[in-house]
Amino acid sequence: QLVESGGGLVPPGGSLRLPCAASGSTFSIYGMSWYRQAPGKERELVAAIRSGGSTNYADSVKGRFTISRDNDKNTVYLQMKRLKVEDTAVYYCKASRTTDYWGQGTQVTVSS
């Protein structure tokens, strides 16, 4: 089970940190990623972190977002800085190995 939190309303230029807490004892072997889906758009990959720690990012968030993981806490984080209106979306956490597991999503709204 994956549970995202930390979403909310933030003005342009602001910051948010989204945690995604996972249940189970094998968190460290999963690749973890964050996706987002804006109204009327397809779900898109935002950032991913592999079990070994390597990361990749969508071009639209490079230099502004950072994905990290704490295997002791079974948690993956998405630190978002210099938020833009176009970052408004529901953000989803995904765990991947042989099967994909999704969280329920958390709403991020960037607006003045």
Per-residue pLDDT of the chain (112 residues; tens, 9 = 90+): 999 999 999 999 999 999 999 997 788 888 999 999 999 999 999 999 999 999 999 999 999 999 999 999 999 999 999 999 999 999 999 999 989 999 999 999 999 9
> Among positive and negative, which fits the CA dihedral 73, 103, 26, 78?
negative
pLDDT at 29: 84
pLDDT given at position 25: 76
CA-wise closest residue to 94 among 41, 20, 23, 13: 20
- 8 Å CB contact between 22 and 76: yes
Q: Looking at residue 26, what is its pLDDT? A: 85
Q: Looking up tokens 């994909």, which residue turns up?
A: 100
Nearest to 92 by CA among 55, 48, 61: 48
CA triplet 107, 100, 23: central angle to 5 degrees? 70
